[in-house]
Amino acid sequence: GNAKTIRNDNSSRFGKFIQLFFERSECGGLEEAGQGSAHLVGAAIQTYLLEKSRIVKIAANERNFHIFYQLCAAAQLPDALDSQLGKLGLQPAEEYVSLAAGGAAREEGKDDHAAFLRTLRAMDLVGLEEEERLEMFRLLAAILHLGNLKFSWTGDGCKLASDTRRWLEKASALLGCTAEQLEEVLVRRQIRAAMETVRMELSEEQAEASR
């Protein structure tokens, strides 16, 4: 949930609601007078309002969420080719529209792979199992692949640009569906009316927004 902005290299892009829990302590006769003391017994943090729009649009000199760059960096290492990371089909960050748009896909002096290792250690500390982590990585990689899709209007409907089909195939494999099934939901909208189902062709702009 953190990303680089023009003002902060590690800005949290979500809200945090913190609750503190106290237990009242008896203190002689003061308790009855409403003057008893209390001590902290716990706390809880809830996150909300994640800046989801950053996934598809970032300002100049800013970056997307850290984890995207970390995954791309880790997937390029030789030992990742035969691992689960190698199966994500990830390319260098510069090849993804959603990561390179801000002009800061690669930063001098920043080691995204080292940051990824710290992220893995943090996941271990909070008790995430390996399969849970891999499922998150698959979804994140699919988001990156989908962001590279382009569409064009052919007169009889919106079509996927042929030179971006490889990204569709990568995303569909990670999402557990066929490329044809994924393309269908990207270029057409299904509307249920009474007892029938109608499929409406999307415009080029609508298809790109549906990613």
CATH number of the domain within which 162 lies: 1.20.120.720
133 in a structural domain: yes
Cβ atoms of residues 87 and 75 within 8 Å: no
Q: What is the tally of structural domains in the chain?
A: 3
Last residue of a domain, one of 96, 128, 148: 148
Do residue 139 and residue 71 come from a single domain?
yes
- Could you tell me if 142 and 156 lie in one domain? no
CA distances from 45 to 14, 15, 48, 124 (A): 12, 10, 10, 19
Q: How far is CA 4 from CA 7, 106, 142, 165, 205, in A?
A: 8, 12, 22, 30, 28
- Is residue 6 included in any domain, yes or no? no
Cβ(40)–Cβ(20) below 8 Å? yes
What's the half-sphere exposure (Cβ side, CA atoms, 13 Å) at 192? 2
Same domain, 68 and 125: yes
Q: Are residues 66 and 144 in the same domain?
A: yes
Examine the domain organization and report whether 106 and 139 are in the same domain.
Answer: yes
Sign of CA dihedral 50, 52, 57, 62: positive
142 and 87 in one domain?
yes
* Residue 156 sits in the same domain as residue 111: no
Residues 73 and 140 in one domain: yes
Q: What 3-state class would DSSP assign to 148?
A: coil
Q: Does 2 fall in a domain?
A: no
pLDDT tens for each residue of the chain, 211 residues long: 888 888 888 887 767 789 999 998 765 554 454 556 788 899 998 876 777 888 888 889 999 999 999 999 999 987 765 688 889 999 999 999 999 998 888 888 889 999 999 999 999 999 999 999 999 999 999 999 999 999 998 877 889 999 999 999 999 999 999 999 999 999 988 888 777 888 888 888 888 887 7
Domain boundary among 106, 126, 148: 148
Residues 131 and 173 both lie in one domain: no
- Residue whose tokens read 């250690």: 121
> Is residue 168 situated within a structural domain?
yes
Predicted pLDDT at 46:
84
> Do both 136 and 115 map to the same domain?
yes
pLDDT at 24: 82
Residue 143: inside a domain, yes or no?
yes
pLDDT for res 42: 92
- Considering the domain boundaries, does residue 5 fall inside one? no
Same structural domain, 141 and 155: no
Rounded-to-integer distance, Cα 187 and Cα 205, Å: 10
Range of the domain at 184: 149-211
